[in-house]
């Protein structure tokens, strides 16, 4: 039978042994040294000059000196003026006070648990403050999580998170949940296009925006929300960029939502009430809408709305400014008609006249009127060869029963086209 225990090497009291208290006290001393093992240091190569009773050290030096000679690899304890060593077994744990770290003996050497944890690789699951499972192999329960660039190694200064999928038909996404039910997904969802999808219930999803992988173009969802005209018609609360306003009520405000933009269509004769502090209109006057009239409205940071553009369905402008047509020039009339005019004084009786701007479609007609001084002669002007770019002006003089071509006769002309 062995005279020591197999794990801690505690001495056993033999049968009929004299002075049993010596063996018993030696075992208690070893228990006091090795149970709840906490050592002051492990990096010394020789005993400290003034050890205290009960001090413990790990001797990891291959050839320690002084009173530690021959105790390499052991746990040493100072007691009664003597250093006593204990050979560690695999699985022993020791707390290193100077490092505030826990070490484990693997049968050959002491290894830091904290350094072991920093080098963990290929673990099947990891839960931080919660339990991981077969689906969520990494699980974190916290108020915040930080991923930052490596300033210790040091790194490049970049920080990238890669979400990889098997094929374009699969998803690579960030999923945002409420009560563990999805409410939004952001990523490449079933294609290489980048998209944002939202859901009210975690089952049915609507695509809010898509960025084309091929062109880079952004496409927003274009659903139209219908709102009944009312004194406060809340465009900002509609939830979509396109809004159909129905009914014929007076509208004094589009709501108080800040920094919103809306494309608005009207289906009835509502009245928009101009107010520079609430609803500013292009004409600075009230507007009566008509079916299929449209406008673009936006609010500022204070929730004040402004109609930046208003388009009547029939093309009629909101207000026609002063249309001044001088002796020469052109003007476009409501409805698309174009009027051009000019003054011709040519030495020749027949002269080709070019319009200032060719009519985009056709010339509907040209009228000419000569201007002559007092006398018995009668001057007339004829128009021929009318085209979108111009016409031929023929000036004639009738006197004493004869008609002849006349040059140098000032002649005004007027043309109408579209």
What digits encode the pLDDT tens for the residues 160-201? 999 999 999 999 999 999 999 999 999 999 999 999 999 999
Please check the confidence at residue 318 and state whether its pLDDT lies above 90. Answer: no
Q: How confident is the model at residue 122 (pLDDT cuts 50, 70, 90)?
A: confident
Least confident interval from 58-67, 115-124, 196-205: 115-124
Residue corresponding to tokens 């289906």: 267
**Which strand (E) or helix (H) includes residue 123?**
none
Distance from CA of residue 330 to its chain's centroid? 49
Please check the confidence at residue 118 and state whether its pLDDT lies above 80. Answer: no
Least confident interval from 140-154, 197-211, 324-338: 324-338
Distance CA 408, CA 5 (A): 138
Please check the confidence at residue 28 and state whether its pLDDT lies above 70. Answer: no
Confidence (pLDDT) at 29: 65
Distance from CA of residue 253 to its chain's centroid? 30
The DSSP symbol for 380 reads: E
Distance CA 6, CA 281 (A): 95
Confidence (pLDDT) at 5: 62
Judge contact between 88 and 75, C-beta under 8 A.
Answer: yes
Distance from CA of residue 111 to its chain's centroid? 46
Distance CA 185, CA 209 (A): 11
Confidence (pLDDT) at 330: 80
Q: Give the pair of three-digit tokens for residue 215.
A: 């062109």
What mean pLDDT do residues 86-102 have?
A: 92
Encode 188-225: b = buried (16+ Cβ within 10 Å), e = exposed.
bbeeebbbbbbbeeeeebeeeebeeeeeeeeeeeeeee
Distance CA 34, CA 71 (A): 16
Please check the confidence at residue 34 and state whether its pLDDT lies above 60. Answer: yes
Please check the confidence at residue 23 and state whether its pLDDT lies above 70. Answer: no
Positive or negative, the Cα torsion across 86, 92, 97, 98?
positive
Please check the confidence at residue 15 and state whether its pLDDT lies above 60. Answer: yes
Q: 412: exposed, middle or buried (C-beta count within 10 Å: 0-12, 13-18, 19+)?
A: middle
Judge contact between 217 and 240, C-beta under 8 A.
Answer: no
What mean pLDDT do residues 51-59 have?
A: 93
Name residue 56's beta-bridge partners: 77
Encode 58-80: b = buried (16+ Cβ within 10 Å), e = exposed.
bbbbeebeeebeebebbbbbbee
Judge contact between 418 and 359, C-beta under 8 A.
Answer: yes
pTM for the structure as a whole: 0.48
Distance CA 7, CA 178 (A): 54
Confidence (pLDDT) at 324: 57
Q: Give the pair of three-digit tokens for residue 319.
A: 């207000």
Segment 232-239 long-range contacts (CB within 8 Å, at least 24 positions apart): 235/260, 235/262, 235/264, 235/297, 235/305, 236/260, 236/262, 236/299, 236/303, 238/262
What mean pLDDT do residues 259-288 have?
A: 93
Distance CA 414, CA 369 (A): 9
Distance CA 295, CA 310 (A): 4
Confidence (pLDDT) at 164: 96
Please check the confidence at residue 374 and state whether its pLDDT lies above 60. Answer: no
Please check the confidence at residue 340 and state whether its pLDDT lies above 70. Answer: yes
Taken as a whole, the chain contains a residue count of 418
Confidence (pLDDT) at 10: 65
Q: Calculate the average pLDDT of the chain.
A: 88
Please check the confidence at residue 7 and state whether its pLDDT lies above 60. Answer: no
What mean pLDDT do residues 404-415 have?
A: 90
Distance from CA of residue 178 to its chain's centroid? 21
**Nearest alpha carbon to residue 357 among 369, 373, 345, 341:** 341
- Give SS3 for 264: strand
Q: How confident is the model at residue 417 (pLDDT cuts 50, 70, 90)?
A: very high
CA distances 21 to 2, 14, 17, 85, 260, Å, are 19, 12, 10, 21, 90
Contacts of 282 (CB under 8 A, 6+ apart): 307, 308, 309, 310, 318
């Amino acid at each position: 039978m062995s005279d020591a225990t197999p794990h801690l090497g505690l001495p056993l009291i033999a049968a009929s042994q004299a002075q049993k208290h010596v063996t018993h006290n030696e075992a208690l001393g070893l228990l006091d040294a090795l149970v709840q093992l906490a050592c002051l240091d492990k990096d010394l190569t020789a005993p400290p000059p003034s050890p205290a009773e009960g001090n413990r050290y790990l001797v990891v030096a291959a050839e320690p000196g002084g009173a530690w000679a021959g105790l390499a690899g052991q746990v040493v304890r100072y007691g009664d003026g003597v250093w006593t060593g204990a050979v560690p077994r695999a699985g022993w744990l020791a707390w290193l006070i100077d490092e505030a770290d826990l070490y484990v003996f693997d049968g050959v050497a002491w290894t830091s648990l904290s350094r072991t944890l920093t080098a963990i690789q290929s673990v099947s699951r990891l839960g931080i403050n919660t339990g991981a499972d077969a689906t969520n192999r990494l699980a974190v329960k916290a108020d915040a999580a930080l991923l930052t660039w490596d300033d210790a190694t040091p790194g490049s200064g970049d920080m990238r998170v890669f979400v990889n999928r098997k094929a374009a038909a699969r998803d690579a996404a960030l999923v945002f949940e409420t009560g563990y039910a999805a409410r939004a997904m952001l990523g490449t969802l079933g294609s290489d296009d980048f998209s944002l999808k939202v859901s009210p219930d975690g089952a049915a999803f609507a695509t809010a925006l898509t960025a084309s992988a091929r062109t880079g173009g952004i496409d927003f969802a274009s659903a139209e929300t219908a709102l009944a005209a009312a004194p406060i018609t809340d465009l900002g609360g509609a939830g979509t960029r396109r809004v159909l306003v129905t009914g014929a009520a007076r509208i004094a405000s589009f709501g108080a939502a800040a920094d919103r933009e809306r494309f608005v269509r009207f289906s009835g004769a509502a009245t928009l009430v101009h107010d520079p502090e609430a609803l500013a209109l292009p004409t600075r006057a009230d507007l009566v809408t008509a079916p299929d009239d449209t406008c673009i409205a936006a609010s500022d940071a204070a929730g004040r709305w402004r109609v930046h553009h208003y388009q009547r369905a029939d093309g009629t402008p909101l207000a026609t400014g002063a249309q001044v047509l001088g002796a020469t020039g052109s003007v476009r009339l409501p409805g698309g008609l174009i009027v051009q005019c000019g003054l011709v004084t040519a030495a020749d009786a027949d002269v080709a006249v070019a319009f200032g701007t060719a009519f985009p479609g056709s010339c509907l007609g040209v009228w000419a009127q000569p201007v002559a001084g007092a006398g018995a002669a009668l001057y007339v002007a004829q128009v021929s060869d009318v085209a979108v770019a111009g016409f031929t002006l023929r000036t004639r003089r009738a006197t004493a029963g004869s008609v002849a071509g006349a040059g140098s006769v000032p002649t005004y002309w007027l043309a109408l086209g579209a």
